Structure 1
C-alpha cells in the first residue's frame, strides 16, 4: 500500500463484521478508477450534521475511570492510524480506514441535548468524559464550537468534565477552563506519543505537532488548569524510545502527573495498522507485531475486561519499570482527578437555572 499524504490509513476497505452487502459497480468506468489507480491522493473531508435524540452515553465498563461521556463528533480528521475508535464507523457501513478520517459527523445540538438530560429530576452528576472516542478539538471544532458549548453548560450547571485531546486548540477555551478549574470542575489530559514531528505526521497526520502539545500543557499549568500528559499509545519499536523524553519535557513545563497506555488493536484497527507498518516501517513491522502479540497472549488484541488495559509479559514489565523510574526521578505521579460535583445546579429547559 502507498501512503496518502495527510492521511493515516492507506485504504478505504469496508468492514465485513456486520454482513453488510459489498458495494458493487454498476458498470460505469468511473467505478474502476480506484481499482486501477488506488484511492485519491488527497481525499477531501466532508462533514454531515447528525441529529441524535440524546448525547450523554453511559457505560458499565469495569476497567475505565468514567461512566459517562459526550462525543461531539463521529470520525476524526486527526487520522491517528492506531485509533481504537475506528471500528465505530463500520457500524454505519463506512470504512474504518479513510472514511473514518474523511467522512465526519458533527452533532451541533449536543449542548441542548445535554441540557435536557441534566434537567431531568432523576439525574445524578458525575464527571462527563470528552475525547474518549474521537477528539473534541479536531479541526472542525474551530467551525462548530460544539465542545465549547458543552463546556459553557458545564460551567453554568457546575458539572464536572474531563477532556482528552491531541490538539493545542484546547487553548481556545482557556477562559472557560480557568473558570471551571476555579470551581474544581475540570481536568485536561493531552496525549503525546513522540517528540519527533516527522513520526507524528505519519502516526497522527492532522493532529498538533508534539511541540505544540507540550506548549499547550505548559499554558494550562500557568493558567491553573489541572493537566496531565498521557503517553498513549506506546508503540513498541516505534514510539517507546520517547517515553523518558516525553516525561522530562512535560516536567519542564510544570506537569506533575502522567500516565501511559500500550497500543490496542481492536477489530479493523489491526489490519490497518499492519498495512501502515508495511508502508512506513517495513524493516521492523514483524518485530513490532511480535512484541505486541507477546503482551496480548499471542493475539493482536485482548478484548477482555480487566486485562485489555493491562499488557503482560517481559516487554510490558520493562515499559512499566521505565515509566516508573523516570516518573519518580522527575517527581511525576499518576493523575489523581479529584473533581467536585456537590454544587451541581440542575438547569431549567428554558435556559434559566432552576431555583430547586
Structure 2
C-alpha cells in the first residue's frame, strides 16, 4: 500500500470493535470517479467543535503516575503512526488510521468546565496531565488556544499541571510557564524519537522537527521551567540507535532529566504500524515486529496492568542498560514530577462569591 503524503497512517484501518462498518471500495466506481475528477486528493484536516459536559478524566491505572488528565482535543494532526491513542477514534465510529489525524475535535469550553470542577466543594487537587492522548500543542492550538486558556486558569487558582508534547509551540506559552515554574505548578516533557528529520517526517509527519524540539527544551530550561526529554517511543531497529545521541543533545541544552518508553501497539495500532513498516521499511519489517513481540511476551502488545508499560526480556534489559549508562555519563536523572498542591485556591475563594 502506498504512503499518503503528509500523513502517518497508510490507510483508514477501520475498526470492528465498536460496530464501525467496514468500507469496501467498489473498483468500477473508483475507476469512474478517477476518470471524471482525476486522482484523489490528499485528505484534508477538518475540525469539529465538541461540547462535553465534563473535561477532567480520572483513572485508577497502576501503570501511570497521575490520576487525572485533560485532552483539549480529540485526534491529533501530528499523525504519529505509533500513537497508542489512535484506537480512541474507533469509539466514535471513526477510523484510528487516517481519520484520527484528519478528523479532529476541539473542546472550546474546556477552561470553563475545568473552572466548574475546581469550584466543587469536594474537589481535591492533584497534578493534571496534559498531552496523554492527543498533543496539547498540535497545529490547531494556534487557532483555538484551548491549552493556553487551561494554563491561565491553573495559574490563577494555583493548580499543578504536567505537559507532554512533540511541539515547540509550547514556547508560545512560555510567559505562563515561567510564572508557574517558581510556584511548583508545572513540569514539561518534550518527546523526541530521533534526530533524523527525514525519519521524523515519516514517523510523525506534522510534528515539529527534532532540532526544534531539542531547542525548545533549551529555552524552557533557560527560563527556569522544569523540563525533561522523553525518548518516546523507542522503536527497535528504527529509532533505538538514537537513544544516546538524543540524551547528549538534550544535555547540551542544559536538560538534566530524562526518561524513555518502549513502543506499545494496542488494538488497531498494531496493523497500522505493520502497514507503515511495509510501506517505508520493508527490508526490516519482520525484524522490527519480531523484536517487539519478544519485548511483549510473544504478542504485539501486552495489555495487562503492571506489565503493559514494562517491556521484558533480553532486548528490554539491553535498552534499560544503554539508557542508564548514557544518562549516568551525562549526569541526567529521572523526572521528579513533584509539584505543589498546597497553594490551590478554588475559584471565587476569598471573594464575594465565596460568601453565598
TM-score by length of 1: 0.95
1:336 maps to 2:326: no
Runs of 4+ residues deviating >2 angstroms: 19-34, 37-41, 351-356
Q: Show structure 1 runs of 5+ residues with no match.
A: none
Alignment of 1:182-331 (within 5 A): 182-331=182-331
Distance change >3 Å, CA 28–CA 222, structure 1 → 2: same
- 1:58 aligned to 2:44? no
| 1:106-121 mapped onto 2 (5 Å cutoff) | 106-121=106-121
- C-alpha spacing 1:158/1:82, structure 2 compared with 1 (3 Å): same
Match of 2:172 in 1: 172
Whole-angstrom CA distance in 2 between matches of 1:285 and 1:71: 32
2:14/2:21 contact within 8 Å kept? no
Counterpart position of 2:49: 49
SS of corresponding position for 1:115:
helix
Is structure 2 residue 11 aligned with structure 1 residue 11?
yes
Number of residue pairs matched? 353
Unaligned runs of 5+ in 2: none
Work out the CA distance in 2 between the residues paired with 1:132 and 1:159: 18
- In 2, Cα distance between equivalents of 1:9 and 1:263: 16
C-alpha deviation, 1:42, in angstroms: 1.6
Paired residue for 2:94?
Answer: 94
In the TM superposition, residue 145 of structure 1 has moved relative to its aligned partner by: 0.1
Change (3 A) 1:159 1:279: same
When the two chains are superposed, the root-mean-square deviation of aligned CA atoms in Å is 2.2
- Matched residue, 2:150: 150
Q: For residues 27 and 2 of structure 1, what CA distance do their matches in structure 2 show?
A: 17
Measured in 1, the distance between the counterparts of 2:165 and 2:254 equals 18
| Whole-Å separation in 2 of the counterparts to 1:276 and 1:42 | 17
SS of residue paired to 1:162? strand
Q: 1:30 and 1:60, CA in 2 relative to 1: closer, same or farther beyond 3 A?
A: same
Distance 1:71 1:122 in 2: 22
TM-score, length-scaled by structure 2: 0.95
User: Separation in 1 of the partners of 2:271 and 2:247?
Assistant: 31
1:80 partnered with 2:75: no
Query: For residues 11 and 21 of structure 1, do their structure 2 counterparts lie closer, same or farther at Cα, with a shift above 3 Å needed?
Result: closer
Deviations 1:113-138 (A, max 9, x none): 00000000000000000000100000
CA 1:193–1:24: 2 relative to 1, 3 Å: closer
Q: 1:147, 1:355 → 2: CA distance?
A: 31
SS in 2 for 1:188: strand
